Amino acid sequence: MTQKDQQTGLDYAGGKVTNLFFKIFFPTLLGMIFNALITVIDGIFVGQGVGPNGIAAVNIIAPLYMVVTGIGLMFGIGASVVAGVMLAQDDSRRASVGVTQAVVVSGVLVSAVTIILGLMPERVARMLGCSDVLMPHAIDYLMWILPGIFFLLFNCIGMMVIRLDGSPKFAMLCNVIPAIINIALDYWLVFPMEMGVKGAAIATSASIIIGSIMVIYYFCGHSYVIKFAWSRVSLWNNVWRQACVGSSAFITEVAMSIMMLTGNYVFMKYYGEAGVAAYSIACYLFPIMFMMSNSVAQSAQPIISYNYGAGNSKRVYKAFKVSLIVAIVCGLIAASCISFGADIIVGLFIDPDCEAGLLARAGLPVFAMCAVFFAANISVIGFCQSVENAVQATILTLLRGVVVIVPAFLLLPTLGYWWGVWAAIPVSEALTLVVIMIMGACNCFKLR
């Protein structure tokens, strides 16, 4: 039997690295873009069906969604990396047990979060900076997104592990099919049924639940190697290891929520509800940039983690080099599309000539400059995660997502230039890339 037959559906040990990468990348990219479109389509339908206040209210609640996504990605990436190392050591039983333990523990954690949110929705909305004008929409969205928030966890973990198991096309379908269903439900509930933001939240929750059912179906007898296999042996050691490896993914999502939360406060201060509506359009585009960049990192991750576990550093660095080049190309494409298509993009969400529309049309080209820096940063952070270097991944994530961006949001607008508030994100990503380049020159990214 070949290594491919013994382990997963892909030959991580002997296949050509470039071919392996693109075999995973294209279905991963398509699946993640469709997943991001769930959020974007929500925004378009809410913007057209409810107006600027609708998308502003959704943007107020969005940081909570990002935090739960972060929990799912933390355990998903952690479980996938650790399982990849175990598969390289020919221990599929431990890999399966570790994945199952990640699902159970994170499920308990997310259950507690959803219960808390459901018990005090108005207080939570106030803490997120919601105004009286936006409160009814915000409460509607929060209460109906809660079922989806719980099941989102299974999607996040499932996507990572299914790709590792050698089924990137099925992972893609787990994103594409729910996204199509979400679009159809969004239209029906927001327009014919006139349910506004509540309808958008119901559509999102329903699509996430369907994706979760597909993930569970895959692991109940249709996977190559990794199955549901419960054991309490080394439970907390395994969970801690996974959480450490995936911690930077959690911090990335928390950082995105901080970015949205801080931006909401700053835009509200300088431009009121119209400013938050304009900023929300940028926040709807950010998941697309993130999914493009993350699809690169996650396509390289199983190749890197498997060969890292096997001690093949040459293949590890080859996969990283390919991922970095592809990430930069994706960043350039995203930046160009947002910069030159700003008027069209704004028109998809709201009237481009209203106050919020004018603000967004002016600000999106400035915001778009972050795309290339962001893509390169995510690729490097993904490499650190894949070789279990959680410390470097966490430091870089905190730098770009908290340490620089919060002061940038607070200080740049005080310079007196209209673009200051829009430049905070590009500045934080650019400064992080400078630090990465300095670390690279000092050989800080060597395998341990």
pLDDT at position 3 is 40
pLDDT more than 90, % of the chain: 36
- For the chain, state the CA radius of gyration: 21
DSSP secondary structure code for residue 2 in this structure: -
Predicted pLDDT of residue 8? 55
- Shortest CA distance to 279 belongs to which of 266, 298, 297, 293? 266
Residue 424 has pLDDT above 70, yes or no: yes
Model pTM score: 0.75
Residue 4 has pLDDT above 50, yes or no: no
**Amino acid sitting at position 159:** M
In 89-120, which ranges are continuous DSSP H helix? 92-119
Question: How many angstroms separate the CA atoms of 360 and 341, rounded?
Answer: 12
Q: Where residue 2 falls among pLDDT bands split at 50, 70, 90?
A: very low
Among 14, 167, 168, 22, residue whose Cα is nearest residue 88:
14
The per-residue pLDDT for 9 is 64
- Give per-residue pLDDT as tens, 362-398: 999 999 999 999 999 999 998 988 887 878 888 898 8
Is 50 exceeded by the pLDDT of residue 6?
no
Average pLDDT over residues 20-28: 89
Read off the pLDDT band of 166 (50, 70, 90). confident
Higher pLDDT, 412 or 246: 412
Question: 8-17, 225-234, 239-248, 347-356 — which one is most confidently predicted on average?
Answer: 347-356
Average pLDDT, the chain: 87
| pLDDT at site 238 | 84
**Percentage of residues in the chain having pLDDT higher than 70:** 98
Q: How far apart are CA 241 and CA 174, in angstroms?
A: 27
SS3 of residue 417 by DSSP: coil
Would residue 226 be called left, alpha or beta, if left means φ above 0 and alpha means ψ between -120 and 50 degrees? beta
131 burial type by CB count under 10 A (0-12 exposed, 13-18 middle, 19+ buried): middle
Q: How far apart are CA 393 and CA 381, in angstroms?
A: 5
Distance between CA 94 and CA 241 in Å, rounded? 13
Closest among 239, 72, 92 to 166, alpha carbons compared: 92
Residue with tokens 């892909």, as numbered in its chain: 10
For range 18-44, the mean pLDDT: 82
For range 281-309, the mean pLDDT: 87
Q: What is the mean pLDDT of residues 15-44?
A: 83
Nearest-angstrom CA–CA distance, 440 and 437: 5
pLDDT at 5: 38
> CA–CA separation, 406 vs 284, rounded Å?
19
Distances (CA, A) of 213 to 122, 186, 209: 31, 20, 6
Strands (E), 200-307: none
CB 427 within 8 A of CB 377: no
pLDDT value at 294 more than 80: yes
Distance CA 242, CA 385 (A): 10
64-89: average pLDDT: 85
Contact present, 193 and 184 (Cβ < 8 Å): no
Highest mean pLDDT among 82-96, 192-206, 217-231: 192-206
Higher local confidence (pLDDT), 125 or 401: 125
Residue 357: pLDDT band with limits 50, 70, 90: very high
pLDDT for 423 beyond 90: yes
pLDDT tens, residue by residue, 93-104: 888 898 889 889
Compute the distance between CA of residue 400 and CA of residue 406 in angstroms, rounded to an integer. 10
String of DSSP letters for 285-329 = HHHHHHHHHHHHHHHHHHHHHHHHHTT-HHHHHHHHHHHHHHHHH
Residue pair 297/378 in contact (Cβ under 8 Å)? The answer is yes
pLDDT tens, 189-206? 999 998 989 999 999 899
